[in-house]
């Protein structure tokens, strides 16, 4: 009988084509995991993630589940997988989960952080994990603009490719802009996010930060629902999936 296992996975997404496995390449996070678990199980295994991260996006707390019948302890399974994973992917936690647990369908809240290096100095050591904006960012103005996005809204203007079949209404319950010296972090939590939504929100707030738009303009962007009125989509390398939360 197969058991259900929950995993927390960390990865540096720099050299990968995103989370989701693809037929045209095996260079995805899910693809690497599927391959190792299939070898362990002796038959094809599909790892279910909490959601897709795009090419170049990182994670500290991606969550996935997998069903296995192997007679091994949780630690033995985790050690086996980490032995064969590349160094930029790791299963940092693993535990047996209830049969009904599903990493995507059971998720109730996700938190992302977009990291900006706000300086004209070279960002030598973290250049792969932060986006650089040299012009000084007005964090107070960015926070005022962020306030218009908190709550339940139609975020169509902040979606790259909205589906006609799916709702673009989402709930953001936290959106904070925090300066840490030369670093500015945009932290956003909610019940789910549209395609490229976090990177477009970050880009819009960054435009407020450099004075290209006023904070109240963000409210108008929400109401208009037009992608061309929102800000530029910032590069993937600054985005990290911090955590996924569940009611279990």
How confident is the model over 1-14, as pLDDT tens digits? 899 999 999 999 99
Among residues 54, 88, 154, 185, the one annotated as catalytic is 54
Task: Please determine, for residue 164, whether its predicted confidence score (pLDDT) is greater than 80.
Answer: no
Rounded Cα distance between 49 and 56, Å, is 17
Q: What is the pLDDT of residues 214-245, one digit of tens each?
A: 999 999 999 999 999 999 999 999 999 999 99
| Confidence grade of residue 248 (pLDDT, cut at 50, 70, 90) | low
54 a catalytic residue: yes
Rounded to a whole number, what is the distance in angstroms from the first to the last CA of the chain? 22
Give DSSP secondary structure letters for 137-192: P-HHHHHHHHHTTSEEEE-GGG-SS--TTS--EEEEEEEEEEEETTEEEEEEEES-
pLDDT of 26? 83
pLDDT of 160? 87
Q: What is the mean pLDDT of residues 42-67?
A: 96
* Domains defined for the chain, CATH in brackets: 3-97 (3.30.70.580), 108-246 (3.30.70.660)
| Confidence grade of residue 152 (pLDDT, cut at 50, 70, 90) | very high
Task: Please determine, for residue 84, whether its predicted confidence score (pLDDT) is greater than 90.
Answer: yes
Task: Please determine, for residue 189, whether its predicted confidence score (pLDDT) is greater than 70.
Answer: yes
Task: Please determine, for residue 82, whether its predicted confidence score (pLDDT) is greater than 70.
Answer: yes
Q: What is the mean pLDDT of residues 71-90?
A: 98
| Confidence grade of residue 86 (pLDDT, cut at 50, 70, 90) | very high
Rounded Cα distance between 176 and 200, Å, is 15
Burial class (CB in 10 A: 0-12, 13-18, 19+), 64: buried
| Confidence grade of residue 161 (pLDDT, cut at 50, 70, 90) | confident
Least confident of 7-11, 53-57, 162-166: 162-166
For the chain, what percentages of helix, strand and coil (3-state, to nearest 5) are there? 25, 30, 45
| Confidence grade of residue 162 (pLDDT, cut at 50, 70, 90) | confident
Among 233, 247, 141, 226, residue whose Cα is nearest residue 184: 141
Least confident of 80-89, 121-130, 154-163, 194-203: 154-163
More confident residue, 165 or 240: 240
Q: What is the mean pLDDT of residues 13-20?
A: 96
pLDDT of 25? 85
Q: What is the mean pLDDT of residues 64-79?
A: 97
pLDDT of 165? 63
């Amino acid at each position: 009988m197969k058991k259900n296992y929950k995993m927390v996975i960390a990865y540096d997404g720099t050299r990968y084509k995103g989370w989701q496995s693809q037929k045209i390449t095996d260079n995805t996070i899910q693809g690497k995991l599927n391959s190792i678990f299939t070898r362990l199980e002796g038959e094809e295994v599909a790892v279910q993630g909490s959601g897709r991260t795009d090419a170049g996006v990182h994670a500290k707390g991606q969550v996935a589940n997998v069903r296995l019948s192997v007679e091994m302890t949780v630690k033995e399974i985790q050690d086996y997988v980490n032995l064969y994973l590349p160094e930029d992917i790791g299963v940092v936690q693993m535990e047996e989960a209830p049969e009904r647990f599903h990493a995507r369908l059971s998720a109730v809240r996700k938190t992302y952080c977009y990291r900006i290096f706000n300086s004209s100095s070279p960002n030598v050591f973290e250049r792969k994990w932060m986006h650089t904006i040299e012009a000084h960012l007005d964090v107070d103005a960015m926070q005022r603009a962020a306030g218009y996005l908190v709550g339940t809204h139609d975020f169509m203007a902040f979606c790259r490719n909205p589906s006609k079949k799916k709702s673009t209404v989402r709930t953001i319950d936290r959106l904070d802009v925090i300066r840490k010296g030369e670093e500015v972090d945009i932290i956003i939590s909610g019940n789910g996010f549209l395609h490229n939504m976090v990177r477009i929100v970050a880009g819009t707030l960054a435009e407020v930060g450099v004075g290209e738009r006023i904070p109240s303009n963000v409210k108008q962007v929400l109401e208009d629902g037009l992608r061309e009125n929102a800000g530029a989509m910032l590069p993937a390398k600054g985005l990290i999936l911090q955590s996924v939360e569940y009611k279990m």
